[in-house]
Amino acid sequence: MTEPTLQARTETAAPTWKPQIAAIVCNWCTYAGADMAGTTRREYPASVRLLRVPCSGRVNPLFILKAFEQGADGVLVSGCHPGDCHYVQGNYFARRRFAAFRSLLNFLGLDPRRVHFSWISASEGIKWARVVGDVTRAVTEAGPLTDWGRASSPAQVTLPEPPAPRPQPAAAELEAVTGHVRELAASLLREGKVSFVLGWAPGPSPGQTIPAFIQRPEDAATLVFDTHSHADLAAFLAGPRKVSGKVAVLVKACDARAATTLLAEGQLVREDVVLVGVSCPGMWRDDRLAYRCHSCDGEVGALCDFTVSAAGVQPGALPTGAKRATGPDPRDLQNAHLESLPAAQRWAFWQEQFADCVRCYACRAVCPMCYCGSCISEQHRPQWVPTSIDGRGNTAWNLVRAYHLSGRCVGCDECERVCPANIRLDLINRRLALELEQRFDYHAGTDPEGAPPLATFRPDDPQEFIY
């Protein structure tokens, strides 16, 4: 199957240019509504091509991505009105998914005139014709989509510098924590309460701290906790167990949220792990405080079995009293700047970022939420993500991952830290997390029993973006 080249598509943008719009519609309402428009001979632009699915709930938002990739200039997804779904709830789930995916596309700077959602019933032939007219007009105004997978002009964006961080913690504090961690690890192993301890140890090069897997009490002495204990150890917990017995795992505040989400998603059995919360003074990258740590007080979640601080080890997840001063989140400041820019410039910025992606999948490897044994980026029937390392493939991959993390990302920013191309994945994930917090009052990593925000709904969820 050959793809029209970008150039070919640009050339078709003559004055008589008419957009190509993919309309993904549900069988019971909108498809029948479109039929009704036909039966009553209500003319509308021929730009829209329909794809029939059983229900708007069937629509994986990544279909929208696929449509753009295949040359659509605009996409319309339409289903039954809330409360009228043939399958009762499908459109409620769809509404949440579209809200998340739409905010992702908006943040990345895709022209908002290109993506549309509507509820059209089987009797609303008139509405169908009107919506197709409106959508066609909007997409025509936006023009041919020529910059999918590339920046049409240099973005020239300089992100604002973060505010001054708090001072580095005293060496004595970290040494004290390290000492208590070692004691606790050794005693847990010695008493046979766990068969493994997952912690951090010095890496091969100076200033590097890496994950460590301890099985013998005497090896506990190799453990450390310092301002470079970046690795989110919860990432090692997901998926089928390969070791027997309990595992103790050291978690910072962000890692504890990851463990909580894994519990909520059934990837972890609470009884199988001993969670050891570590009172965290913040992680440092070279000489700057990691962005996520600016707004974090370092307190671990309510889930831990032990909490370690400079003062010692205490059972449970009681506050250590070492609450640290917090400030504004640099990611939010930088996102605010990005969002103040015109969409086209933002799109160029992100396309420049994605252009550097080498598809090493390090982001996926370190992510505690990326636990699929078979990632869809590596599935070829159907091919969700083009394998080519080019703008199209890279855009698809980064969009897929961002969407799959929506409502799940706990903001540990490990993906961004390990990215060899320095793609600001942290900004995307942060923006989407805030969107879901505001929309659905959902805070990832706080409730081990709660339903993920895209796996539930409220009949009165906001739908200001739907025709």
Partner 1 sequence: MPRIGVFVCHCGENIARTVDVRKVAEDAGRIPGVVFSTDYTYMCSAPGQKLVMDAIRERGLTGVVVSACSPQLHEPTFRNAVQQAGLNPFLCEMANIREQCSWVHPNRAEGTAKASLIMASAVQKVARGRALSASEVPVTKRALVIGGGVAGIRTALDIANAGHEVVLVEKQPSIGGNMARLSETFPTLDCSQCILTPLMVEVSRHPRIELITCAEVEEVSGYVGNFRARIRRRPSFVRADLCTACGDCATACPASVPNEFDQGLAWRKAIHIPFPQAVPSTYTLDAASCLNTQLVSSKSGYRVLACERCADVCSRKAIDYDMRPEIIEREIGAIVAATGYRMMSGEGLADYGYGRYPDVVDSLEFERLLSASGPTGGEVLRPSDGKPARDVVFVQCVGSRDPVHGYPYCSRVCCMYTAKHALLFKHKVHDGRATVFYIDIRAAGKGYEEFVQRAMEEERVLYVRGRVARVTQVDGRLVVYGADTLSGQPLQVRADLVVLASAMVPAQTNVAARLRVPTDAFGFFQEAHPKLRPVETLTAGIFITGAAHGPKDIPDTVAQASAAASKALELLSKTRLQREPTIARVDEAVCMACFECVRICPYQAVEKHEVRARDGRLLRVVARVNPAMCEGCGACAGACRSSAMDIQGYTDTQIFAQLTALMTGAAS
Asked if 53 is part of the footprint of partner 1 (rule: CB under 8 A), the reply reads yes
Asked if 10 is part of the footprint of partner 1 (rule: CB under 8 A), the reply reads no
Closest C-alpha among 54, 65, 131 to residue 101: 65
Our CB check for partner 1 shows the closer of 52 and 193 to be 52
Our CB check for partner 1 shows the closer of 170 and 451 to be 451
| Cβ(277)–Cβ(304) below 8 Å | yes
φ, ψ (nearest 5 deg) of residue 55 = -160, 150
**Least distance from C-beta 458 to partner 1, angstroms?**
12
Q: Looking at 51, 243, 318, 358, which residue binds partner 1 (CB under 8 A)?
A: 51
Pinpoint the alpha helices (H) of 111-267: 125-142, 171-190, 253-264
**Least distance from C-beta 305 to partner 1, angstroms?**
24
- Compute the residue count for the chain: 467
448 CB-near residues (< 8 Å, 6+ apart): 260, 263, 264, 270, 303
Asked if 2 is part of the footprint of partner 1 (rule: CB under 8 A), the reply reads yes
Q: What separation in angstroms does the CA of 224 have from each of 172, 175, 215, 257?
A: 13, 8, 15, 21
Q: What separation in angstroms does the CA of 297 have from each of 203, 249, 300, 323?
A: 27, 20, 9, 5
Q: Looking at 152, 187, 208, 383, which residue binds partner 1 (CB under 8 A)?
A: 383
Query: Per-residue string for binding with partner 1, 80-99, x by CB under 8 A?
Result: ------xxxxx--xx--x--
Our CB check for partner 1 shows the closer of 67 and 293 to be 67
Q: Looking at 10, 13, 35, 142, which residue binds partner 1 (CB under 8 A)?
A: 35
Start-to-end CA span in the chain (Å): 35
Closest C-alpha among 414, 371, 379 to residue 397: 379
**Least distance from C-beta 48 to partner 1, angstroms?**
9
Asked if 37 is part of the footprint of partner 1 (rule: CB under 8 A), the reply reads yes
Asked if 466 is part of the footprint of partner 1 (rule: CB under 8 A), the reply reads no
Q: Looking at 187, 379, 388, 422, which residue binds partner 1 (CB under 8 A)?
A: 379
Our CB check for partner 1 shows the closer of 142 and 355 to be 142
| Site size with partner 1, rule: CB under 8 A | 66
Asked if 456 is part of the footprint of partner 1 (rule: CB under 8 A), the reply reads yes
112 CB-near residues (< 8 Å, 6+ apart): 105, 106, 343
Query: Per-residue string for binding with partner 1, 194-233, x by CB under 8 A?
Result: ----------------------------------------
257-276: contacts with partner 1 (CB under 8 A): 265-267
Asked if 235 is part of the footprint of partner 1 (rule: CB under 8 A), the reply reads no
Helix, strand or coil, per DSSP, at residue 79? strand
Helix, strand or coil, per DSSP, at residue 195? coil
Our CB check for partner 1 shows the closer of 240 and 321 to be 240
Q: Looking at 12, 17, 49, 438, which residue binds partner 1 (CB under 8 A)?
A: 49
Distance CA 181, CA 311 (A): 11
Q: What separation in angstroms does the CA of 307 have from each of 42, 197, 428?
A: 68, 15, 31
The residue to which tokens 């509504």 are assigned: 33
Q: Looking at 10, 71, 166, 434, which residue binds partner 1 (CB under 8 A)?
A: 71
393-452: contacts with partner 1 (CB under 8 A): 404, 451-452
**Least distance from C-beta 230 to partner 1, angstroms?**
25
**Least distance from C-beta 9 to partner 1, angstroms?**
10
Asked if 67 is part of the footprint of partner 1 (rule: CB under 8 A), the reply reads yes
Asked if 126 is part of the footprint of partner 1 (rule: CB under 8 A), the reply reads no
**Least distance from C-beta 347 to partner 1, angstroms?**
20
40 CB-near residues (< 8 Å, 6+ apart): 125, 126
337-376: contacts with partner 1 (CB under 8 A): 371-376
Q: Looking at 32, 104, 254, 256, which residue binds partner 1 (CB under 8 A)?
A: 32
Asked if 129 is part of the footprint of partner 1 (rule: CB under 8 A), the reply reads yes
Q: Which amino acid is at 337?
A: H
Distance CA 158, CA 152 (A): 18
**Any bridge partners for residue 22, and if so which?**
49, 75
Choose the stretch contacting partner 1; rule: CB under 8 A; options: 58-66, 227-235, 242-250, 390-398: 58-66
The β-bridge relationship of strands 306-309 and 312-315 is antiparallel
Pinpoint the alpha helices (H) of 198-276: 253-264
Asked if 15 is part of the footprint of partner 1 (rule: CB under 8 A), the reply reads no
Q: Looking at 46, 164, 336, 360, which residue binds partner 1 (CB under 8 A)?
A: 46
φ, ψ (nearest 5 deg) of residue 125 = -60, -35
213 CB-near residues (< 8 Å, 6+ apart): 196, 197, 198
Site residues (vs partner 1, CB under 8 A)? 1-4, 20, 22, 31-32, 34-35, 37-39, 41-44, 46, 49-55, 57-60, 63, 66-67, 70-72, 86-90, 93-94, 97, 129, 239-240, 265-267, 371-376, 379, 381-384, 404, 451-452, 454-456
